[in-house]
Structure 1
Amino acid sequence: MTEKVSSIMWFSLALQALLVLADHEGLCNSSKLATKLNSESGFLRKILSNLVKAGLIQAKEGRDGGYSLAKDPDQIILADIYSAIKSEPFSKGFLDVNDKKCFQPSSRDALCGLKNEMESWIIQGLEQKTIADLLSKS
């Protein structure tokens, strides 16, 4: 099973890494990526591993290895990135009221429904954008 994470920070870093790779010619190693993104290469490799498993990037191991996009930027949908790195909804914890005794069951149900609706909005928005949409048009 693919190790996934729920942190929005990981989504942000994955998105930024894909943008760097889209602008980079040839392979880009994790050290160079980490420097560009101001991140630790070991931490970044965990994110890149999930993107490789999702088929969004490809990796070549070895001394001359590195990462590159596995698809054209206009074929990488942001929702696919989100799906590749998340294990829990973005909104988890945001409206977490299941254990709160101060809410009536109907209020808890309504808040849980809102949380699910919010997750749906996020995914619908991400399905409308690709990496190419975020690249500089110059």
Structure 2
Amino acid sequence: MSQSKRGNQIGPPRFVIAVHVLIWLAKSGGLLSSATIAGQVNSHATFLRRVLATLVQSGFVEAREGRDGGYSLSMPAGSITLADVYLAVKMEPCEGTEEMSCSGEEGAGIQLDQALEQIMNAADLRTVEYLKQYSIADLTETIDF
């Protein structure tokens, strides 16, 4: 029986951490500090704060400041799909990249960039459609803490 290794994770790191955070918040049923979350999801504090900020901006998580503050889900775990999370944390392309070739060439380089972009956009659409089938609640039910 083979075990999955976290080093071989699939998907962007922000997505993986965001899903872990949402599962921990769903399981806790209450408020968790960023220090508690960081310990549970095994993430660097700065990276985690960026992910948490995105989850708050997206409306999945509520943040309370102060000594007794922390983070909690702002909606039921069953209403948050993995597609929602994926789209929320997906990195935006760098400014101007749609106009420039990565290779710095014209002609063939631009054509290759355009072809790869079409393929990656199609793959991204399929990924989102597939992830719509699963919610945070689905994963929460399958994991023993």
Give the TM-score normalised by structure 1: 0.77
Output one character per residue of 1:25-75: Cα deviation in whole Å (capped at 9) or x when no partner: 310000000011112223211110110011001011001001011111110
Corresponding position: 1:134 with 2:139: yes
CA RMSD of aligned residues (A): 2.8
* Aligned residue runs from structure 1 range 48-127, under 5 A: 48-88=52-92, 99=103, 109-127=114-132
Output one character per residue of 1:85-120: Cα deviation in whole Å (capped at 9) or x when no partner: 12337xxxxxxx863789587766544332221111
- State which of 26, 36, 44 in structure 2 corresponds to 1:32: 36
Q: State the aligned residue count.
A: 127
2-side partners of 1:16 and 1:119: how far apart?
Answer: 21
1-side partners of 2:42 and 2:109: how far apart?
Answer: 46
Contact residue 33 and residue 41 of structure 1 kept, 8 A: no
Match of 1:41 in 2: 45
2-side partners of 1:57 and 1:65: how far apart?
Answer: 13
SS in 2 for 1:112: helix
2-side partners of 1:32 and 1:104: how far apart?
Answer: 47
